Amino acid sequence: MTREQTNLLQGTLDLLILRTLRLGEMHGLGISRRIEQITQGTFSVKTGSLFPALRRMQEEGWIKSAWGESEANRKAKYYRLTKAGRKQLETETAKWERIVLGISRTLEAS
Amino acid sequence: MTKKRKLRWLSRAVSFFRNVTGRQKDELDIAAEVSAHLDLLIEEKLRSGMKPDEAERAARIELGGVEQVKEQVRDARAGAWLDTLVRDCRFALRMSRKNPGFTAVVVLTLALGIAANTTVLSWISATLLNPIPGVAHTSDLVTVMRGDRTDHPTPPFSYLDLRDLSERTQTFSGLLGYHDDYMSLTGVAKPERIYGALTTASYFDVLGVHPILGRAFLPEEGTPPARAAVVVIGYAVWQNHFAGDPQIVGKTIQINRHPYTVIGVAPRDFTGCAPGLRAELWIPLSMDRDVWGANRPARRGTFWLNVLGKLRPGVTKNQAQAELNLFMRGIAERFPEDHRDSPNEISLDPLWRSPFGINGYLYKVLPMLLGLAGVLLLLACANVAGLLLVRSVGRRREIAIRLGMGASRQQIIRQFLIESLLLGLLGGTAAIVITRWTSHSLVAFFPPSNLPLTNDAHIDQRVLFVTIAVSILAAIISGVLPALRSSSLPVQSVLKEEATSVSLTLHKGRLLSGLVVAQISLSLVLLVCAGLFTRSLRKAQQSDPGFEASHLLLASYELSPAGYTRATGVAFNQQVLDRLSALPGVESVTLADFSPLSFSIHTDYLQIEGYVPQPHESMEISRALVGPHYFRTLRTSVISGREFTEADSPESQLVAVVNQAFVDRYLPGEDPIGKQVTDWGDRFTIVGVARNAKYRLLTYPAEPVIYFSSYQVYSPTDDTTIHLRTTGDPRAIAPSVEETIHHLNPELPLFNVNPLSVTMQLGTLFGRVAATFAGSFGLLAMLLAAVGIYGVVAYSTRQRTREIGIRMALGAEQGGIYRLILGQGFRLTLAGLVVGTALAVAFARLLKAQLFGVSETDAITFASVGLLLAVVALLACHIPARRATRVDPMVALRHE
């Protein structure tokens, strides 16, 4: 992925992760699989993108992490939304809807 | 929104802090998470039915490399840039330690280039930017000048004119007037001549200087005719003569044998407000009558005060100038008699180019030197850029490997720039060390003089700050080209190359050649400037000043502080001449109230019979009081008429001698002998015409001068300087001169006993400063350019070892190889000389005003400098060329 694409898609990835975590806490692989599942494979999140994004969002204060046990009793780090994260999700969603609306109107008009 | 942004910022800041401090814990955490993730992936694959080894392989492929993921997480965390910075710096330090020779050369080159700038800057900072030591803010202070700006202005205002202006002005919050003069501190263990000032009461208030002890003048103390015998003493006087006595305020001291009450001690740094001159005593100007018996404050036509004004906030210089002009015109109309002979137009100057004091000269010389230093720095940067470029070729594999491993171009550029920044800062540090020494070198140019010249150039905050900025700038200038070049390597082909067969790509070779051409051309510019200044100085020194300086001893004394009156003073002077002329080894002896080429000649406003001045033409003319036989002693020939003799006495007819320039200007085509000249109401008859002699600067054309006999005219406020022509070494006779004067009056201090050839160095001060520094910059530039061209030719020769080996194996002769290498250097030199000549012609045009007797396109200078540079450059190429001829083809071909 080149730098330009990352910048463009970063916001989208954040939105997807926040949305996924709204359902409850989840570990990294879980988030990644969940996104694949929901988008029916349109977005496949690579580990190299996922973890830096999680890291950054943690530092922004949108999500929190804690070590826990997976279903198969394996150690895993679980992420959950914070209050700031919920707010961010609302903002991002609203923003996204505005963009989508704008773009579809443009497409329809021509 | 803002609150949210603040919170986010806070959250990032906390993370930043945690990342920087909890480094190890964080690393473990990242590692644990990535490995846990891998485990989860493997488990997932196993569940989908893969075999264990298959599952692990698939999981690792999906993960995409444990280390890479970790690195990406590290890059995402707050403060990642700090990590990379520290890492890059560490690497840069390691690189510079690994290659100490290279580092030393680069650091030294940059240090010399930077030090040249910081040295000149330390002077500019101490003079132009800090015109009044001890007064921090001088931006709203201006000098008030009456008449056209000249290079040797005389005090422009009378006390009464200044008083009227001060009372009426709305644009200035205050005006101050002062008259600098020597005073004698008497009644102390060791009487000393101290430069001081007669000032208006407003002096300290307008400058904003507060005495550290006691107080400044009260308004009534400085207002004639009231007289208050009070004095503010300088810090040095307080320390040296009164041992820093804390009870000094209120005590009485003696100045010129009169008692004064000390009312204050000036702050340590403050030495008066004439830039470059050190004053240490301040008394109200109303005391003039008591001390000098002149009562100048009472006379409206006596222009003796220098004036500074403090502009009110928001007032521009032009508004203030317009206002003062209006008032001055009014004054001139009310008192036409006093203002007829001199122009009354007011001009205001900021202090950095104040016509009074040393800045009036330095403001032309120093910026020019800074320009030359800037060129030197540019050359040093080109030199370092060349060195860095050559080294980067040697690091091609390293860079290619980094690029191959996934480093981005930005990372490589950053790494290179940080390396050159490190070198730049090391160079800057070394430059500070050099400047600590060189900043004091300006003072070394001051010859012994009757002027209290002072210069306190040192590394101040401003200089330090600029040094750092210049170091960074130099580092970027010299580092950016190699960085850009190196980061755009064709990775594949470089990695395929054999380490030893790395050769210059054509492109890089061209860049290197360009840098060499730049160095040669810049050093040509500097050498041409150096040559022009040196030749100009030589011309000035060899020019005929109109007198003969060798075998002349000068010695000065001051009569009025010693209690002499007009009658006793003239008698004393006669005695001095009688006794000295009787000394063995003395050819002739005379007196004068000035000495040539030491900025000490006075001026007066004259009326000349038969000459009608233009409206507003200044009739301020250089005026010399000289003793009998002055012209014979100085060997300035008298063209017609006669010179002064002992027979010219106060009782006989008042006579004058004028110089040729005076006749040419005011009495062209007439017989000047017998014409009348009026000075201060006294009528003088011209009895002689002398050859032109230069008394101010050797580089100025001869100006009109009128001479009066010191037996007829007595000036109480001026020094008397003995001029003694000796048959042998003038220094040898100094002790007997001092003894003779001491015998006549044991209490009269004799000062500045020096040969004229020494004191007249003041007249070439600025020429010597310019020639010396332009000269050293030029030599330094030549050295750098020589090293630069040597480096590049030697390097490319080494790269061509194989080619040379093949040529020799195929039968090329040693002479052919020699010419091949030398030809390469010669082409670069030639290109540099052509570009440099064009630059030098443009640059030298700026120096035109500073040159004397030499055209700015002086062919001799250009030709000899070009030749010198060509020879030096070819010598530098000779070494690698000789080495190339000794290449053994067998060894060279097996070189792989």
Helix (H, G, I), strand (E, B) or coil at B215: coil
Q: Do A51 and B15 touch (CB under 8 A)?
A: no
Rounded to a whole number of angstroms, the distance from the CA of A38 to the nearest CA of chain B is: 18
Burial of B492 (0-12, 13-18, 19+ CB in 10 A): exposed
Q: Do A51 and B36 touch (CB under 8 A)?
A: no
ipTM score over 0.90, yes or no:
no
Count CB-CB contacts under 10 A for residue B489: 21
Distance between CA atoms of residues B841 and B262, nearest Å: 59
Domain residue limits, chain B: 2-78, 141-353, 361-541+765-893, 559-748
Tell me whether strands B346-350 and B141-146 are parallel, antiparallel or unpaired.
antiparallel
Q: Report which secondary-structure segment, H or E, holds B686.
A: strand B682-690
Closest CA to B374 of B464, B297, B474: B474
- Taking contacts as CB-CB distances below 8 angstroms, the residues of chain B near A52 are 72-73, 75-76
Confidence grade of residue B706 (pLDDT, cut at 50, 70, 90)? very high
- Asked if A60 reaches chain B (Cβ–Cβ under 8 Å), the answer is yes
Helix (H, G, I), strand (E, B) or coil at B147: coil
Residue A48 has its nearest CB partner, among B11, B32, B69, at B69
- Residues β-bridged to residue B709: B626
Q: At what angle do helices A47-60 and A83-109 cross, to 10 degrees?
A: 120
C-beta of residue B169 within 8 angstroms of C-beta of residue B324: yes
Nearest CA in chain B to A54: B73
Tell me whether strands B620-626 and B705-709 are parallel, antiparallel or unpaired.
parallel
Confidence grade of residue B499 (pLDDT, cut at 50, 70, 90)? very low
Q: Do B15 and A58 touch (CB under 8 A)?
A: yes
Question: Mean pLDDT over residues B837-858, rounded?
Answer: 87
- Asked if B69 reaches chain A (Cβ–Cβ under 8 Å), the answer is yes
Residue A60 has its nearest CB partner, among B11, B43, B68, at B11
Q: Which pLDDT score, from 0 to 100, does residue B563 have?
A: 79
Q: Which pLDDT score, from 0 to 100, does residue B705 have?
A: 95
What would the pLDDT profile of B327-340 be if each residue is shown by its tens digit? 999 998 999 888 87
* Chain-centre distance for alpha carbon B825: 37
Alpha helices in B192-252 (DSSP H): 203-207, 235-242
Poorest-pLDDT segment among A76-80, B21-25, B59-63, B636-640: B21-25
Distance between CA atoms of residues B695 and B760, nearest Å: 9
Distance between CA atoms of residues B890 and B896, nearest Å: 11
Question: Mean pLDDT over residues B775-780, rounded?
Answer: 92
Neighbour-count burial for B818-837, b at 16+ CB within 10 Å, e otherwise: bebbbebbbebbebbbebbb
C-alpha distances in Å from residue A22, one per residue of B195, B333, B474, B814 = 86, 93, 54, 83
Phi, psi of B836 (to 5 degrees): -60, -40
Is the pLDDT reported for residue B501 higher than 50? no
C-beta of residue B212 within 8 angstroms of C-beta of residue B267: yes
Please calculate the CA angle B112-B118-B122 and round it to the nearest 5 degrees.
145
Residue percentage of chain A with pLDDT more than 90? 2
Question: Mean pLDDT over residues B771-776, rounded?
Answer: 91
Q: Do B68 and A28 touch (CB under 8 A)?
A: no
Confidence grade of residue B220 (pLDDT, cut at 50, 70, 90)? confident
Please calculate the CA angle B579-B600-B275 and round it to the nearest 5 degrees.
140
- Asked if B71 reaches chain A (Cβ–Cβ under 8 Å), the answer is no
Confidence grade of residue B2 (pLDDT, cut at 50, 70, 90)? low
Is the pLDDT reported for residue B493 higher than 90? no
Q: Which pLDDT score, from 0 to 100, does residue B6 have?
A: 62
At B758, list the tokens.
């020494």
Peptide bond into B225 cis (omega under 30): yes
Poorest-pLDDT segment among B3-12, B83-92, B352-361, B451-460: B3-12
At B129, list the tokens.
């930017």
Q: Which pLDDT score, from 0 to 100, does residue B863 have?
A: 93
Q: Do B33 and A28 touch (CB under 8 A)?
A: yes
Nearest CA in chain A to B67: A48
Rounded to a whole number of angstroms, the distance from the CA of A101 to the nearest CA of chain B is: 24
- Asked if A73 reaches chain B (Cβ–Cβ under 8 Å), the answer is no
Phi, psi of B42 (to 5 degrees): -60, -45
Distance between CA atoms of residues B463 and B468, nearest Å: 9
- Taking contacts as CB-CB distances below 8 angstroms, the residues of chain A near B41 are 29
Distance between CA atoms of residues B11 and B266, nearest Å: 55
* Chain-centre distance for alpha carbon B233: 30
Is the pLDDT reported for residue A8 higher than 50? no
- Asked if B94 reaches chain A (Cβ–Cβ under 8 Å), the answer is no
Burial of B556 (0-12, 13-18, 19+ CB in 10 A): buried
Q: Which of B14, B63, B69 to mutate to test the interface with A (most CBs of A within 10 A)?
A: B69
Confidence grade of residue B717 (pLDDT, cut at 50, 70, 90)? low
Confidence grade of residue B7 (pLDDT, cut at 50, 70, 90)? low
Q: Which pLDDT score, from 0 to 100, does residue B321 have?
A: 92
Q: Which pLDDT score, from 0 to 100, does residue A4 have?
A: 36
Q: Do B33 and A52 touch (CB under 8 A)?
A: no
- Asked if B44 reaches chain A (Cβ–Cβ under 8 Å), the answer is yes
Count CB-CB contacts under 10 A for residue B787: 17
What would the pLDDT profile of A22-40 be if each residue is shown by its tens digit? 888 888 888 888 888 888 8
Q: Which pLDDT score, from 0 to 100, does residue B844 have?
A: 87
- Model pTM score: 0.79
Residue A52 has its nearest CB partner, among B11, B76, B78, at B76
Q: At what angle do helices B765-799 and B859-885 cross, to 10 degrees?
A: 30
At B362, list the tokens.
């330095």
Residue percentage of chain B with pLDDT more than 70? 95
Structure letter (DSSP) for residue B157 = B
Distance between CA atoms of residues B886 and B629, nearest Å: 75
Domain residue limits, chain A: 3-109
Structure letter (DSSP) for residue B545 = -
Q: Which pLDDT score, from 0 to 100, does residue B506 have?
A: 43
**Greatest alpha-carbon span in chain A:** 55
Poorest-pLDDT segment among B259-263, B291-295, B603-607: B291-295
Q: Do B69 and A77 touch (CB under 8 A)?
A: no
Count CB-CB contacts under 10 A for residue A18: 21
Q: Do B8 and A60 touch (CB under 8 A)?
A: yes
At B423, list the tokens.
């070198």
Distance between CA atoms of residues B92 and B327, nearest Å: 67
Q: Which residue has the tokens 């007439």?
A: B670
Distance between CA atoms of residues A48 and B499, nearest Å: 35
Q: Do B77 and A56 touch (CB under 8 A)?
A: yes
Distance between CA atoms of residues B861 and B856, nearest Å: 9
Distance between CA atoms of residues B51 and B37, nearest Å: 19
Residues belonging to chain B: 896
Helix (H, G, I), strand (E, B) or coil at A22: coil
Its CATH architecture, for the domain A3-109, is Orthogonal Bundle (1.10)
* Chain-centre distance for alpha carbon B657: 40
Closest CA to B187 of B157, B231, B147: B231
Q: Do A87 and B11 touch (CB under 8 A)?
A: no
C-alpha gyration radius of chain B: 37
Q: Which pLDDT score, from 0 to 100, does residue B58 have?
A: 87
Is the pLDDT reported for residue B10 higher than 80? no
What would the pLDDT profile of B660-705 be if each residue is shown by its tens digit? 999 999 999 889 999 999 987 889 999 999 999 988 888 888 889 9
Rounded to a whole number of angstroms, the distance from the CA of B57 to the nearest CA of chain A is: 15
- Asked if B578 reaches chain A (Cβ–Cβ under 8 Å), the answer is no
Helix (H, G, I), strand (E, B) or coil at B310: strand
Q: Which pLDDT score, from 0 to 100, does residue B679 have?
A: 86
Sign of CA dihedral B338, B342, B343, B346: negative
Structure letter (DSSP) for residue B189 = S
At B745, list the tokens.
């009056």
Is the pLDDT reported for residue B755 higher than 70? yes
At A88, list the tokens.
């961010």
Q: Which pLDDT score, from 0 to 100, does residue B325 have?
A: 92
What would the pLDDT profile of B616-671 be if each residue is shown by its tens digit? 677 778 999 999 999 999 999 999 999 999 899 888 999 999 999 999 999 998 89
Q: Which of A34, A46, A57, A59 to mutate to test the interface with B (most CBs of B within 10 A)?
A: A59
Poorest-pLDDT segment among B129-138, B214-223, B287-296, B625-634: B287-296
- Asked if A55 reaches chain B (Cβ–Cβ under 8 Å), the answer is yes
Nearest CA in chain A to B5: A60
Confidence grade of residue B136 (pLDDT, cut at 50, 70, 90)? confident
C-beta of residue B292 within 8 angstroms of C-beta of residue B716: yes
- Asked if A77 reaches chain B (Cβ–Cβ under 8 Å), the answer is yes
Structure letter (DSSP) for residue B848 = G
**Residues B200-205: contacts with CB within 8 Å, 24+ apart?**
B200/B159, B200/B162, B200/B166, B200/B175, B200/B176, B200/B284, B200/B285, B200/B305, B201/B284, B202/B166, B202/B174, B202/B175, B202/B176, B203/B176, B203/B177, B203/B178, B203/B282, B204/B232, B204/B282, B205/B174, B205/B176
Q: Which pLDDT score, from 0 to 100, does residue B508 have?
A: 59
C-beta of residue B579 within 8 angstroms of C-beta of residue B763: no
- Asked if A48 reaches chain B (Cβ–Cβ under 8 Å), the answer is yes
Closest CA to B597 of B770, B759, B450: B759
Residue B75 has its nearest CB partner, among A28, A46, A52, at A52
Q: Which pLDDT score, from 0 to 100, does residue B78 have?
A: 67
Helix (H, G, I), strand (E, B) or coil at B124: helix
C-beta of residue B503 within 8 angstroms of C-beta of residue B441: no
Q: Which amino acid is at B843?
A: F
Residue B76 has its nearest CB partner, among A28, A47, A56, at A56
- Taking contacts as CB-CB distances below 8 angstroms, the residues of chain A near B34 are 51
What would the pLDDT profile of B450-489 be if each residue is shown by its tens digit? 777 877 788 888 899 999 999 999 999 888 888 888 777 7
B696 CB contacts (<8 Å, ≥6 apart)?
Answer: B151, B152, B597, B599, B601, B622, B703, B763
Is the pLDDT reported for residue B227 higher than 50? yes
Is the pLDDT reported for residue B507 higher than 70? no
- Taking contacts as CB-CB distances below 8 angstroms, the residues of chain B near A58 are 15
Q: Report which secondary-structure segment, H or E, holds A77.
A: strand A75-81
- Asked if B239 reaches chain A (Cβ–Cβ under 8 Å), the answer is no
Q: Which of A13, A17, A29 to mutate to test the interface with B (most CBs of B within 10 A)?
A: A29
Helix (H, G, I), strand (E, B) or coil at B180: strand
Tell me what the pLDDT averaged over chain B comes to. Answer: 86
What would the pLDDT profile of B374-430 be if each residue is shown by its tens digit? 999 999 999 999 888 888 877 877 888 888 777 778 888 888 888 899 999 999 999
Range with the largest mean pLDDT of B679-683, B728-732, B800-804: B728-732
Question: Mean pLDDT over residues A73-93, rounded?
Answer: 88
